[in-house]
Amino acid sequence: MKTVAVVGTQWGDEGKGKIVDMLAADADVVVRFQGGNNAAHTLVVDGEKFILRLIPAGALHPNKVCVIGNGTVVDPIALNEEIAALRARGRFTDPSLLKLSCDAHMVMPYHRAIDRAREARAGRRAIGTTGFGIGPAYEDKMARTGLRFDELVNYARFREKLERNIADKNAYLRAVLKAKPLKASEIIDQMKRVRACVLPYLCDTGAYLAEAADAGRRILFEGAHGTMLDIDHGTYPFVTSSNCIAGAVFSGAPLAPGRLDAVLGISKAYTTRVGGGPFPTEIKGALANRLRTEGEEFGSATGRPRRIGWFDAVLARLAVRLNGMWGLALTKLDVLTGIDPLRVCMAYELGKERHVEMPPGRAALERVRPVYEEMPGWRESLSGARALDDLPLNARHYLERVAELAGVPLAMVGVGAPREATIVLRNPFLV
């Protein structure tokens, strides 16, 4: 297979970065196609911890072209800082390896200010955004008032649009959100400084990817967030502001429909989510605290503690259907070591009805009761396992049941944070 997309099957934070980083070794090009720096991938390479927010995970491999597609919204200041931080650690030193779509929209300081002011005003009704301005940036994109990177070429015209936007946003901040307005001169100075840094990376990414695909190069598409955070298909309104499913590759990279060979879904061996919204299999108390600590379940981008739950096969089946998944990579199996019994949600009960598929209307998730199947746990360490036969029998049974309930074959199993702590059953680039 030549073109492969990696997508999350839950509410994000499934460990996509580690899997993308692994697959990048066999890819030529790695592409980010949606989201912004509200998503982050935590990677451990040669004992070093890296957190990537905008740059695709291919940056940690030599000579891999990293593409940021038009479907993303990019904070140019954050992008410049991320590039500088990688280079300071001896990584991603060749500027020719980054391609930034001319058509990607910019996240501006006023987007961040609006995002945070709205959440503060909402109080207990807050959605739980990162405060990084992603939603307001996508709003401006749809309202046709956003600023795209190609506009930086003509700085005089760009400045004129920027000044107009700042005036409009300050009026909204003052009158509606009762928040402090921003200083236009400071934003203009920031953008003038960052402009020279980002201009060399601008590219027609659609044309570049079409040429790469025609040449038979291996292209890996790296999703951010997860299926249940998709603006159309997730647990609305507790979602992100972009499409996260594999179909977004065709508009946000872009890749022509029909040219995607496989979709690899990523799931934890349990479930987590950040922020508000329904969570049928949520665990609370000592067990949740244990899993949160052992799994290091704190947001890479925000540091917020994640909510913890049992594996939810109903969500998994929805993700398989929406993404047309070829295989499933299950991460953090090692975190479940020592828990006995383990539980897997196989269905929901809503009133007198049992649902093995997601019930229509996401509001129903607030009222469903999970139907669990219990399985025996294991106590042996999994950190050294590199093949299924290295795992305890109960761990193998757990994997088999999860794959059966999800309705998709297992492709990989994560048993630790480092690259090498992964059991690879099928690599989509090598079949």
Query: Catalytic annotation on 261?
Result: no
Question: What DSSP character marks residue 418?
Answer: B
* CB burial readout 314-338, b (16+ within 10 A) else e: bbbbbbbebbebbbbbbbbbbbbbe
Answer whether residue 120 is part of any domain. Answer: yes
Comparing CA positions, the residue from 194, 7, 30 lying closest to residue 99 is 30
Answer whether residue 315 is part of any domain. Answer: yes
pLDDT number for residue 300? 67
Name the domain boundary from 201, 231, 258. Answer: 201
CA distances from 367 to 223, 352, 361 (A): 30, 12, 11
Q: What is the distance of C-alpha 255 from the center of its chain?
A: 19
Tokens of 383: 């950190």
Q: Check 21, 26, 28, 41 and give the catalytic one.
A: 41
Name the domain boundary from 201, 229, 256. Answer: 201
pLDDT digits (tens, 9 = 90+) for 261-315: 999 999 999 999 998 899 999 999 999 999 999 999 987 667 789 999 999 999 9
Same domain, 195 and 220: no
In the block, which residue shows the tokens 């203009």?
188
Q: What is the distance of C-alpha 383 from the center of its chain?
A: 25
CATH number reported for the structural domain that contains residue 344 in this entry: 3.40.440.10
Same domain, 20 and 109: no
Answer whether residue 99 is part of any domain. Answer: no
Neighbours of 222 (CB within 10 A): 32
Tokens of 134: 């992603």
CATH number reported for the structural domain that contains residue 171 in this entry: 1.10.300.10
Tokens of 291: 């899993």
Same domain, 217 and 90: yes
Answer whether residue 100 is part of any domain. Answer: no
Total domains, the chain: 2
CA distances from 14 to 112, 172, 206, 397 (A): 25, 36, 28, 21
Tokens of 230: 């998709």
Q: Is the dihedral of CA 317, 322, 327, 329 positive or negative?
A: negative
Same domain, 190 and 150: yes
Same domain, 209 and 220: yes
What single letter denotes the amino acid at residue 85? A
Same domain, 157 and 299: no
Range of the domain at 406: 3-94+204-430
Same domain, 213 and 316: yes
Task: Please identify every stretch of the chain with a pLDDT value under 50, giving residue numbers as ranges.
Answer: none
Same domain, 64 and 145: no
pLDDT number for residue 301? 64
pLDDT number for residue 162? 97
Rg (CA), the chain: 22
pLDDT number for residue 420? 87
CA distances from 138 to 88, 100, 106, 185, 198 (A): 31, 17, 9, 24, 20
CA distance 191 to 369: 50
Answer whether residue 171 is part of any domain. Answer: yes
Same domain, 137 and 221: no
Answer whether residue 292 is part of any domain. Answer: yes
What is the 3-state secondary structure of 372-404? EEEECCCCCCCCCCCCHHHCCHHHHHHHHHHHH
Query: Catalytic annotation on 13?
Result: yes
Same domain, 34 and 155: no
Answer whether residue 258 is part of any domain. Answer: yes
Q: Both ends of the chain: CA-CA distance in Å?
A: 6
CA distance 201 to 223: 21
Torsion of CA 325, 97, 64, 60, to 10 degrees: -90
Name the domain boundary from 201, 232, 248. Answer: 201
Reduce the DSSP state of residue 247 to 3 states and report it: coil
Same domain, 247 and 332: yes
Same domain, 235 and 347: yes
Answer whether residue 283 is part of any domain. Answer: yes
